[in-house]
Chain A
Amino acid sequence: MAKQIVRLRVNGYSYEVLTEPSRPLLDVVRDDLGLTGTKEGCGTGDCGACTMFMNGEPVTSCLVIAPDAEGYEITTIEGLAKDGKLHPVQQAFIDHGALQCGYCIPGMIMSAVALLERIPDPSFDEIRAGISGNLCRCTGYTKIIEAIETAAKEMSAARV
């Protein structure tokens, strides 16, 4: 298959990549741009480990074809912290011990950030629904939910 140039904006930087047009955005971001924070767990959109933002909306990047991501502002886990300061969700995950092996965590954090953008003061069930597309095998989700509850409170307090 002939390669083509795909132009991507990721975490505020502009890139030009030469690639087969059928390649998933996930693979291009990881292998061509070296941003390996986003993970592949299944390649079929079922586990959420590949979650990143396109114009702020969470997507399973294993199912996005790279050329379709042109023109979007893409944000990956590497782009969440600003000027060396962690996002409140990231800090809450650390403080609550809401992780073990950590493999699902980049995708989980992205989904949590997107949830709190949409619903700043989510209920327990809204949190569960917000991360229901992210599989975790290590934690059983309890500490993750508690971390998101704390982050929501921190972010509300910061807005006041």
Chain B
Amino acid sequence: MTTYAVVGKPTQQITAPSKVTGNTPYPSDVQLPRMVHVKVFRSPVAHARIKRLDVSRARAYPGVVTVLVADDLPAHLARDSANRVFTLLAQREIVFYGQPVAFVVAETAQIAEEARDLIELEYDELPVVLDVLQAVDPSSPPVRYTMEGVDRSELRAHTTVKEEEEEAVKISNVTQRMIFSRGDVEQGFAEADLVVERTYRAQWVHQGYIEPMAAVVDIDAGSGELTIWTGTQGLFGTRETVAKVLGIPESKINVQAIETGGAFGAKLQPFAAAVAAFVATKVQRPVRYVLTRSEDLRAADPAPQAYFEVKTGVKKDGTVTALKARAIYDCGSFPGSPLMAGSNLLGAYYKWPNLEIEGLEVITNRVSQGALRAPGTPQATFAIDSQMDIMAQMLDMDPLEFRLKNAVVEGDLMPNGRSFTRIGLRECLGAMKETEFWKNRNNLGANEAWGIAVGGWLGGLQPASAIVALNSDGSISVLVGAADITGTNTSFQMIAAEVMSLPLHKVSVRTGATGNSPYAGASAGSKTLRTVGGAVFKACEDARDQMFRIAAQRLEANSEDLELAGGAVRVKGSPEKALTFQLLATMTQGFGATYPMITGRGNIGSPTMAPGFTVQGVKVYVDPDTGEITVKDACVVQDVGFAINPTAVENQLQGGLYQSLGIGFTEEMIWNDKGILLNPSLLDYRQPVSLDIPKIEVKLVEVPTNEPPFGAKGVGEPPISAGCAALANAAARASGARVYQLPVTAERILRAKGQVQ
């Protein structure tokens, strides 16, 4: 095992000193002179045809700059389209509660709110469809009467394999169908000693970022160039989308790098930036648009509900024989859902010799969905790992041994037909046995029990680019276009310091604006460290090679005889024959210098897929009278390949498990039967607080890839997949009654026990 000087050691986040003193700016902190404020007039109903919209009194209100309606939108944009981001305002048909209908732009936010109250809207209400089973029924009313074009970008963002899709043309509320199959499921059930059929439901969940969606857009009234500060994981994706919305070249837009107050996938679609940019082009002044928490809960892009019918067969020795499932994902009012990813992962954890997974995606009259960390996967994991737990209980087998018996290994197939590369699921199951959680699992009081679950995420893949420049003082600067997602820039700093043999303080890392940094995909999909980090690694090797070429000449040595050490290039075995980085800078930068500048470039294509698996354990107490759950212990074990910064990796794992627990027992967006969101506040949409969560134990497993940087795997998404299932399994054992719906609430436990009608 190689020992490294920098990577693998717990390291302070570059931005930490600035963040703990309140000095790091976020998009909602940006203040520009003459800035105007946008407040959105939103639909009070879920589905309606607009009859009359009168903004004249609002326009006339003192301090109002303008009020914009759908007729003011760029002419090239389809109205009431299938693409949520392009549908900045409803024109003819309102399709979700809270949908924007007009923008009020004023000198202050308060004036905009007061003027907004003067807007008059008349509409004819239309039928509301909210339940996925109703939406699937061909006799249900249409969720939408107008929808131009169909958007498939969600599909491409989260799968890396071409799947077979069948466009559903006969059922208007069904916008996508797919099927994965192999073997013969009926034969598989015939071979089984035990067949289990259950139905599961998972809820709509808000990503819960603490900073609401926000954008500040400046405009140069002379050149028309826009500068954007917004909460996003993808600067370049934001630029591309805003350019399309406005119908202007990307070169006219500069998206600045700025810290985001949480995103977890929600801010991949640049709603706030598109609105603010549009308004800026109309008023020719800087524009601020920040959603209130209530607006964000009502009208952002939360994670969708899903419904699963699962039938599994298993032999009495614990070998699974068949999986047949039907999955329905809800899109909300605009097509697009994580149907493909969720359906694939539903059957990806275990060796199913025969499987058939049919998936559907439906639209409903509620806000449209967006990505949440491992899209589609917590829902699917809840379904499959509850099912596995039920089979283990029925066979009287230890839940961990049962999963170990069936866990996938390298070479096994996923439902989509691709085979796994080197993965660490079995290793994680083994490592779980070494945790404090596992050692203490049977220290149980009355009404307490533990549960485990398996989860994972395939990991996104994308080309990446990085630049490394030598500074005149011998330090180096690393430039990337990837948004710094809670510590990735620190990991790049560590990678560069390791390769260049420099101390950390001599390496600076910057995410540039889109106008002056290399293209980067979104910092999402559990790919940033692997891809951009790989590019940083390569850029450093390139810079090193450039240094070696010069040093070889000057030191009269061969390149193979050179090494980097202590901020210098030196001859191996003769450390006195050296050129410091500072000297190299002088030789390559000074006026009249003859050697070319040293600028390392690293451009890589997509690396090999390297899925990350996790095994999580949760211990709960369930009150026998109230059904209330208390989480007593929680543990996350995950294959991370190689932990470049163990602190950052632990943070991701603990945070992911935390979010999964919220999905498991406290969080649910609730609409009434008219499609009105009943809990648009953080009081009633209950994200777990510190009192709800025990100390989370972390155990890192390292099954490295064969690729830079240092064999690391993506870690961001696997940890959210399993916690909700582990909690549901624990609660089922503690209460004696299983709940087949997330979140597992006290009420649902009591109903399952028959204690409440």
Contacts and interface: CB of A to CB of B under 8 A. Distances in A.
- Does B bind A? yes
A138 B651 contact: yes
B411 interface: no
Contact of A99 (B20, B293, B690): B20
Contacts of A43: 292-293
Nearest to A130: B690
Interface string A87-112: 00010011101011111111001000
B249 interface: no
Interface string A4-34: 0000000000000000100100000011001
Interface in B643-678: 647-648, 650-651, 654-655, 657-659
A97 B659 contact: no
Residues of A in contact with B, size category = 35 or more
Nearest to B261: A103
A143 B22 contact: no
A99 B262 CA distance: 11
A36 interface: yes
B691 A47 contact: no
Nearest to B21: A81
Contacts of A136: 210
B206 to A, nearest CB: 10
A107 to B, nearest CB: 9
Contacts of B486: 100-101, 138
A119 interface: no
B260 interface: yes
B13 interface: yes
Interface in A109-157: 109, 124, 127-129, 131-146
Contact of A94 (B16, B651, B658, B659): B16
B683 A100 contact: no
Interface string B8-46: 001011011101111111101101000000000000000
Contact of B21 (A80, A100, A127): A80
Contacts of A40: 28, 212
B175 interface: no
A37 interface: yes
Contact of A46 (B16, B262, B264, B681): B681
Contacts of A31: 31
B20 A90 contact: yes
B210 A41 contact: yes
Contacts of A30: 29
A59 interface: no
A80 B21 CA distance: 8
Nearest to A23: B110
A30 B211 CA distance: 15
Interface in B677-702: 681-683, 687, 689-691, 693, 695-696
A141 B651 CA distance: 10
A144 B695 CA distance: 10
A128 B682 contact: no
Interface in A26-70: 30-31, 34-44, 46-47, 49
Nearest to B110: A20
Interface residues of B, number: 52
Given A46-B683, A135-B210, A97 B651 contact: yes
Contacts of B209: 101, 103, 137
Given A40-B28, A46-B682, A80-B21, A140 B693 contact: yes
Contact of A103 (B13, B21, B211, B687): B211
Nearest to A42: B293
B9 to A, nearest CB: 12
A86 to B, nearest CB: 7
A109 B21 CA distance: 9
Contact of A90 (B15, B21, B683): B21
A42 B21 contact: no
A74 interface: no
B21 A76 contact: no
Nearest to B634: A140
A47 B20 contact: no
Given A41-B211, A136-B210, A145 B690 contact: yes
Given A94-B12, A135-B210, A102 B690 contact: no
Contacts of A142: 654, 693, 695-696
Nearest to A49: B210
Given A44-B293, A128-B690, A99 B658 contact: no
Contact of A137 (B20, B259, B687): B687
Given A46-B681, A132-B689, A141-B690, 7 more contacts: A31-B31, A44-B682, A47-B210, A90-B20, A128-B690, A134-B689, A144-B690
15 contacts: A31-B31, A36-B29, A38-B22, A39-B211, A77-B21, A86-B21, A95-B12, A97-B10, A101-B261, A101-B262, A102-B16, A103-B211, A138-B486, A140-B658, A141-B658
Interface of A: 20, 23, 30-31, 34-44, 46-47, 49, 76-78, 80-81, 86, 90, 93-95, 97, 99-106, 109, 124, 127-129, 131-146
